[in-house]
Structures are given as C-alpha cells and as structure tokens.
Structure 1
C-alpha cells in the first residue's frame, strides 16, 4: 500500500474532512503505539509501511507500560483534541490500526496485540470484525 492510498483510506473510513486530519490521526496513533510495544516489533511493523508512515513507529527505544485509557489520552493530546473528543480519537485509532493491518503481512498486527494487555482489545475491534466477516458474498 502506498502513502497516498493509506492516508486516503484513513480519511475515508474515519470520515475525516481532510488528508491532514488523517495524517494527524495516523501519526498520533502510531507514535503512541510505538511507546507501548517492543522497539523491535515497532520497527518490524514500520518497515512494512510506506516510509512516511512507518517512521512514526521508530521514535522510541524503551517500552512504557501504560493502560488503554492512557493510550487514548496520549493520542487525543497528540491530535490536539480536547477531552470531549476522546471517543473520536479512539475511533480514529481503530481505523488506523485496521488500515495498518491491511497494509502489512498477515499476522503482524496479531504480534502487536499479543504484547498488549486485554484492556487494549477495543483498539483491534474493527480489524477483528473484518477478519471474522470474511469476503463479501455480493
């Protein structure tokens, strides 16, 4: 998947009004995720994404053990959103993870999910719904 396609998918699926908003959501989600997962896993995932996207996963050398609510707070803050917009930030992060899952090798997102506690399950809801739905019969 190329950079323009990736950002376009995030913008479309999250119903954002600009590519800049899609890039902001992508950057905020991936930079925050990179703080929470093992650096090697972050780099492996980033290497499978377009360079402009993957670089957001390569900024951290240490793992910071924070829960999902802290993850959401960090994403919200990085996007420049207010506290009242936390649900929107969660949804956009879910969309970013879904698009990442489609852009990388099969199972790469599962490797990331295995590193996170159960309270992060909501982050993977869209991605899992796609996997269980299977191909469109229409």
Structure 2
C-alpha cells in the first residue's frame, strides 16, 4: 500500500481530512514505536511506505519495548494528537485496521503478539476479515 492510500484509508475511517489523518497516523505510530521491541519495529517499518518508516525509527541501542497498557497507549495517542480518549481509541482502531491491510498478515500478528491482553478492545475488531471501524 502506498503512503497516499494509507492516509486516505485512515481519513475515511476517522472521518477527517487527509491532513488530520497524517497527524493521527503519526501519533499512533509514534506510540506503537514506543511499545514494540526494536527488532519488531524494524520488521514493521520495512513493510510500510517511506514516510511512515521515518515515524517508526527505533531509538539507537534501545531494543527493549516500553511496557504500558492499553489505557496508557490511548492516553499517549490522545496527547500527541490533541484528542479525547474516545477519539484516540477510534484513531488507534483506524490505524491498526489500515496497518493490517498494508502489511503481511504474519507481520501484523507479530506486532499484535507484543501487545498485552488489555489491547483486545482495540485490536480484535481489526483481526476480523474485512474489518471496518466500529462506531458507537
């Protein structure tokens, strides 16, 4: 999937402009980068368009993931994107759904395995074939 398509998909799923979708995607991927081990981060980045790879650059010499739960993930995305918790949760689902479509299923599974059980509310809708963003 190319960069413009990725951004357009996030924009449609979050019902925002492309410019805002770029900000929301960046906020989610920066937070995901903090949560994944360095090796997994590099594997994920390798399957994404160049502008998104730049967002996922691991910290040099830092292999360990920062361990935090889903509530903290949502809070960090919300803070970065300047949105409330509900909008941040919808953003994460939209970006995860788009990620799932953009990368190989095996790589997406490798990413999800690194996330604890409390992420299920954000991830399970994404795992269903043909997943779309839930509203409500």
TM-score (norm. length: structure 1): 0.86
Matches within 5 A, 1:34-113: 34-60=33-59, 61=62, 62-81=64-83, 85-113=84-112
How far apart are residue 53 of structure 1 and its match? 1.2
Measured in 1, the distance between the counterparts of 2:117 and 2:72 equals 14
Post-superposition Cα deviations, 1:95-122, rounded to whole Å, max 9, x if no partner, equal: 1011011111122111111111100112
The size of the alignment, in residue pairs, is 129
Cα deviation 1:35-89 (Å, max 9, x = unaligned): 01111101111110101012211143341111111111100000022xxx21111
Deviation of 1:13 after TM superposition, in Å, equals: 1.4
Contact 2:41 2:58 in 1 (8 A): no
Alignment of 1:2 with 2:5, yes or no, is: no
Q: Which sits farther off after the overlay, 67-76 or 106-115?
A: 106-115
CA RMSD of aligned residues (A): 1.7
Give how far 1:131 is off.
5.6
How far apart are residue 126 of structure 1 and its match? 2.8
Q: Structure 1 residue runs of 4+, over 4 Å off?
A: none
State whether residues 95 and 126 of structure 1, in contact with CA within 8 Å, keep that contact through their aligned partners in structure 2: no
Structure 2 distance, partners of 1:120, 1:19, is: 26
* Contact 2:78/2:85 (8 A) holds in 1: yes
